[in-house]
Amino acid sequence: MIWSGLTILAFVVYHLLHYTVRVWHGFGTDAYKIDLHGEKVHNVYKMVIDGFSWAPASIFYLIAMALLCSHLSHGFSSLFQTLGISTDKSEPLFKKAGYAFAGLIFAGNAAIVLSIWLFGYGR
């Protein structure tokens, strides 16, 4: 659990540095700015395409999302136990629902990464 927690923490820090602070890939330069209604704003679309075109970022993102979704599935099923509505009979159903929910979240986020990294979408 310590390694998955540290990986998720590294993912959050990397994600904030990458897209919010714009440290890597020259994201803070004018090359990543567009004119929108007379105002210069960051071109988030281009940032996402260029960020996920780089294999190490894509691989790290997929690993971190898998760990995050594993944590999410556990949290989803634990929610019902915390609320006191989980019984011995319903617990397997809540666990399966947690896996399905986390799998859906992972599939949606992985589709973005894989469509750019492997299939060249947006390039």
- pLDDT at 26 (0 to 100): 67
- pLDDT at 108 (0 to 100): 96
- For residue 102, give the nearest of 76, 64, 63 by alpha carbon: 76
- The full set of domain ranges for the chain reads 2-117
22 CB burial (10 A radius; 0-12, 13-18, 19+): middle
- pLDDT at 25 (0 to 100): 65
d(CA 30, CA 45): 14
- Dihedral over Cα of 15, 13, 95, 84: its sign: negative
d(CA 50, CA 44): 10
99 CB burial (10 A radius; 0-12, 13-18, 19+): middle
- Dihedral over Cα of 8, 11, 13, 15: its sign: negative
Q: What is the pTM of this model?
A: 0.80
- pLDDT at 47 (0 to 100): 82
d(CA 68, CA 65): 5
- pLDDT at 29 (0 to 100): 72
- pLDDT at 40 (0 to 100): 84
- pLDDT at 31 (0 to 100): 74
Answer yes or no: are the C-beta atoms of 67 and 4 closer than 8 Å: yes
- pLDDT at 77 (0 to 100): 87
Query: Which residues in the chain land under pLDDT 50?
Result: none
